[in-house]
Amino acid sequence: MIPDWINAFAAQHPLGAVSNKESSIVKNRPFTAWSALDDVKTKADDIAHEASREFNAASQKAQEKTGKIQPGSLKYYAACTFGGMLACGLTHTAVTPLDLIKCRRQVDSKLYKSNLQAFRTIRAAEGIRGVFTGWSPTFFGYSAQGAFKYGGYEYFKVFYSDLVGQENASRFKTAIYLTASASAELIADIALCPFESVKVRGQTTIPPEITGTFSGISSVVAKEGVAGLYKGLYPLWGRQVPYTMMKFASFETIVEMIYHNLPGQKSDYNKGAQTAVAFSGGYLAGILCAAVSHPADVMVSKLNANRQAGEAFGAAMSRIYGDIGFRGLWNGLPVRIVMIGTLTGLQWMMYGLAFLCYDSFKIFMGLPTTGGSSEDKKKTN
């Protein structure tokens, strides 16, 4: 009951006396801000649950259409190839503005004072379209590279494991990861190189020397022959092979370490949790990738932009190094760490417009995700 003296004062208030019902609400919910947060959390949980339900339904339909995909089958490699194509093509295209700034600062370190100043300058001078200079060759090139990289990695991982036997493959699994990723990347870069050549030429000339992907390829071939598209292949291998070896080997190891330090087995976690682990492992692996491959990345940009007609590869490398020195090999590293960390994390986590990439594509298609298997076996035994 409410004391009479409260109602006596409340009777003179335009809102009248305080009811017992209102009083109980106030007692039960003394901090309305907390209650509002609880409501928001409940709604967010409901949305997440509904999204998970829709994802599972779509996943089930996709798996019903494709049938059961057995690891090691042609259908398995085709699914991984398609997932890799989308994972690399879409994510690299999304970070084109960062790549543009990185390439321009690598070619001319005095062009911009900072990454933010670079973005503002390009935006003011060239508009939003200028910020995405090079998106088309990036999309086509990295889609092709992703297809061979991820599909090839899955194939070579099985191939080399069978070659040395399962016992040795388990004992020397890191060596298997490194060899498989290097083999896949050697092939993938042959597909990427023509598009990378066109991309760098378009991004590092102001105004852009090349504005279209396939018209740019035709222009380079007309002036320099097919060899002109591949004059950056050796440094591209020098950048991408160690990059990819670090990417796959460190990712597999980091993910296994994460699951090792989590309670239960990997199979105990739902698709969302597995995707979060994949992104975390991918981002950390991406930082290592950027550091290992950056000097070669600078050389790729320099060679595609400044290599003279008829100049030998070794002579061009020596001339460029003489101009920039050891310190110049690290131009643009901070922005590349952000770019590669984000890229690698998203490539393992996201895919298509629903932001679900390589590992989530495997989850969606009912395939086993990467990492954690050996630890699961240990926990099971």
d(CA 296, CA 185): 15
- Short-list 152, 221, 227, 212, CA closest to 183: 152
What pTM was estimated for this model as a whole? 0.65
On whether the CB atoms of residues 307 and 56 are closer than 8 A, the answer is no
pLDDT of residue 232: 81
Residue 379 has pLDDT above 80, yes or no: no
Each residue of 46-57: pLDDT tens digit?
Answer: 776 776 677 666
Residue 230 burial (C-beta neighbours within 10 Å; 0-12, 13-18, 19+): middle
Each residue of 259-298: pLDDT tens digit?
Answer: 888 887 877 887 778 778 877 888 888 888 888 888 888 8
Question: Over pLDDT 90: what percentage of the chain?
Answer: 20
d(CA 355, CA 357): 6
Q: 30-39, 40-49, 198-207: which has the minimum mean pLDDT?
A: 30-39
Mean pLDDT of 88-102: 89
Domain residue limits, the chain: 70-230, 238-365
d(CA 314, CA 232): 12
State whether CATH 1.50.40.10 applies to domain 70-230.
yes
Q: Which residues contact 125 (CB under 8 A, 6 or more apart)?
A: none
Mapped onto helix, strand or coil, the DSSP state of residue 135 is helix
Each residue of 188-224: pLDDT tens digit?
Answer: 999 999 999 999 889 888 888 888 899 999 999 998 8
Phi, psi (deg, nearest 5) at residue 252: -60, -45
DSSP 11: T
Each residue of 127-174: pLDDT tens digit?
Answer: 989 999 999 999 999 999 999 998 998 899 999 999 999 889 888 988
End-to-end CA distance of the chain: 64
Mean pLDDT of 218-235: 89
Phi, psi (deg, nearest 5) at residue 85: -60, -45
Tokens 């990059």 belong to 243
pLDDT of residue 334: 84
pLDDT of residue 21: 46
Angle at alpha carbon of residue 92, lines to 222 and 247, rounded to 5°: 110
3-state secondary structure 40-97: HHHHHHHHHHHHHHHHHHHHHHHHHHHCCCCCCCHHHHHHHHHHHHHHHHHHHHHCHH
Residue 13 has pLDDT above 80, yes or no: no
Residue 356 has pLDDT above 80, yes or no: no
Mean pLDDT of the chain: 78
* Alpha-carbon dihedral 338, 340, 344, 345, rounded to 10 degrees: 0
d(CA 86, CA 142): 9
pLDDT of residue 195: 95
Mean pLDDT of 175-198: 93
Please tell me which residue, 1 or 91, carries the higher pLDDT value.
Answer: 91
pLDDT of residue 367: 59
Half-sphere exposure of 78 (CA within 13 A, CB side): 6
On whether the CB atoms of residues 80 and 367 are closer than 8 A, the answer is yes
Each residue of 123-135: pLDDT tens digit?
Answer: 999 898 999 999 9
